[in-house]
Every structure is written in structure tokens, then in C-alpha cells.
Amino acid sequence: MLKMIGACMILLSTTTFGFRQARAYAERPRQIRQMRGALSLMRTEISFGSRRLDQICEQIGHREKEPVRSLYARCAHYLREMDGVSAFECWKRAVEETWPATELKQSEKEVITDFGKTLGISDREDQLAHLARTQTHLEVEEGRAREEQERYEKMCKSLGILGGALIVILIY
């Protein structure tokens, strides 16, 4: 009886691990799409609005879901609270703090951080051009993320289950 409980625990833990890994592959394209949507909101605000950057970030933070919500909310907070610091420093700090909560990879982090370098230092048209370029880069990354999802999501689920079964067979 104790062996059966142990075998079930092993199988359950490896299956859970496999499904968590698969969820990470499924979550990454969604988060990239969400980031692109937030950048579209920012693009619209810059094009037609006349609000300050901290207000724009705060509004996007209220509209979006996690983890993008935290990124924009923290950036807005830093823009208001850290007097004399550049918009890039506020953006970079927000990215560094919120990145561990995402499923995004280093390539997306570089694109988002590079976008922050141009934030608030140029005219409206230049800002819009940088936003468009950033969205294009994220679109490419989203395509790659979808390919990885298609390639590895089912495999992770299967390996979790089959790996657990193999361990149980080898132990008993």
C-alpha cells in the first residue's frame, strides 16, 4: 500500500512538473501579445493625447492584466517619485523588477529595455517610430514563441507523465 502511494506521488509530481513547463510555453506568446497591446495603447496616447508619460503608464497599468500591469504601474510610480531621474532609468528599473514574474525570455527583455532608451527624449514622431519598431520586433519574437509552443508544449506534458511512469517502473 505504501509503495502504491509513493508511486502515485512520483507520478503526480513529474506530471505536474511537465504541465507547468508546458504552461510556460503557452504563456509566453500570450504575454508578448499583451505587451504589444500595451505598446499600442501607448502609441495611441502619444499620437492623440497630451498627457504626461507617468499618466500614460498609469492608465495602461490600470487597463492591462498581470504581468504587464505591474511593469507600467511601477514605471508610473518611479516617474512620479524619483525626481530628476530619466524616463529610461525608471523604465529599466520597472523592467528589472517585474521581469522574473513573466515567462518572457532575454530577447524580449532586450527589445523592451531598448525601447525605454528612447522614452521621453525625442519628439512625438520619433517616439511613434520607436514604438512601431518595438512592436515589429515583438511580433517577430511572438512568432518564434508560437513555434516553440507548438514544438515543445505537448512534449513537456508527455515527458512529465512518461518520465514519472519510467521512474516508478525502475524503482519497483
Q: pTM score, two decimals?
A: 0.85
- Residue 28 CA to residue 47 CA, distance in Å, equals 28
**CB of 56 closer than 8 Å to CB of 45:** yes
The DSSP symbol for 64 reads S
CA neighbours closer than 13 Å in the CB half-sphere of residue 43: 16
Tell me the per-residue pLDDT of 114-156, one tens digit each, with 9 for 90 and over: 998 888 787 888 888 999 999 999 999 999 999 999 999 999 9
Average pLDDT, the chain: 91
